[in-house]
């Protein structure tokens, strides 16, 4: 039976003609839901820990460290989830 999760909390901090900046808060047992990024983006972890990633290729667990950013290109389709026992927070910067 599939895991049942609730939505992570997304708070848009900036949304203008050039960028959208969103803070994502993942309490234990939350997820983004499946989505596709229409633009390139940067993720800045605010905490250290692990997040799960579901893609069309399968599921992986990624270890992330506070302040160590990464980037992805437009078209990335996935669901991000937190099955850990503590909250995870990152800031996502979408380049328009």
Q: What are the φ/ψ torsions at residue 50 (nearest 5 degrees)?
A: -120, 140
Q: Is residue 57 part of a domain?
A: no
How many CB atoms sit inside 10 A of residue 72's CB? 14
Asked if 38 contacts 96 with a C-beta cutoff of 8 angstroms, the reply is no
pLDDT along the chain (96 residues), means of 10: 83 98 98 96 98 96 97 95 97 98
Write the DSSP symbol of residue 48.
-
Q: Is residue 67 part of a domain?
A: no
Q: Is residue 8 part of a domain?
A: yes
Q: What pLDDT is recorded for position 59?
A: 96
Q: Is residue 54 part of a domain?
A: no
d(CA 88, CA 62): 12
Q: Is residue 64 part of a domain?
A: no
Q: What pLDDT is recorded for position 58?
A: 96
Q: Is residue 52 part of a domain?
A: no
Q: Is residue 61 part of a domain?
A: no
Q: How many domains does the chain have?
A: 1
Q: What pLDDT is recorded for position 4?
A: 83
Q: What is the CATH number of the domain that holds 13?
A: 2.60.120.10
> Which domain, by its residues, includes 30?
1-44+74-90
Q: What pLDDT is recorded for position 2?
A: 55
Tokens for 14, please give them: 């900036």
Instruction: List Cβ neighbours of 51 (8 Å cut-off, separation of 6 or more).
Output: 26, 61, 62, 64, 80, 81, 82, 84, 88
């Amino acid at each position: 039976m599939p895991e049942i999760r609730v939505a992570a909390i997304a708070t848009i901090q900036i949304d203008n003609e050039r960028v959208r900046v969103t803070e994502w808060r993942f309490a234990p047992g939350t997820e983004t839901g499946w989505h596709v990024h229409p633009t390139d983006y940067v993720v800045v972890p605010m905490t250290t820990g692990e997040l799960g990633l579901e893609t069309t290729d399968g599921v992986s667990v990624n270890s992330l460290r506070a302040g160590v950013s990464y980037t992805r290109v437009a078209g990335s389709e996935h669901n991000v989830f937190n099955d850990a026992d503590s909250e995870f927070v990152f800031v996502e910067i979408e380049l328009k």
